[in-house]
Amino acid sequence: MTWMFYFPGNGETKSDAIEYSDRVCDAEDVAHHACEYDYTVRDGWERGMEVDLTVVVISPDGVETEFKTFNYTTVEHHVEEVKP
């Protein structure tokens, strides 16, 4: 079995779990990926910033761990020298 995750806050159950097979250290890594996945792939950005969403991570051993996920609003500033 591989690492998996699902979103019970969206009405999902274990049978809806999505596999995650990238290099993983622990359940928190998978939860972080799930948060990014929800935001970018499932239009989680429409929920608004700093709104909680629950994700459940299932380890290869079948252990389920629940996490609260949310996205912070951030601003990044970049500068680049213009060469004549």
- Altogether, the residues listed in the chain come to a count of 84
* pLDDT given at position 25: 80
- How far apart CA 57 and CA 23 sit, in angstroms, is 15
* Pick from 27, 21, 24: nearest CA to 59: 27
What pLDDT score was predicted for residue 59? 94
Element (H, E) at 32: helix 27-40
**1 three-class SS:** coil
pLDDT for the residue 78:
83
Name the nearest CA neighbour of 49 among 28, 23, 74.
74
Positions of the chain with pLDDT under 50: none
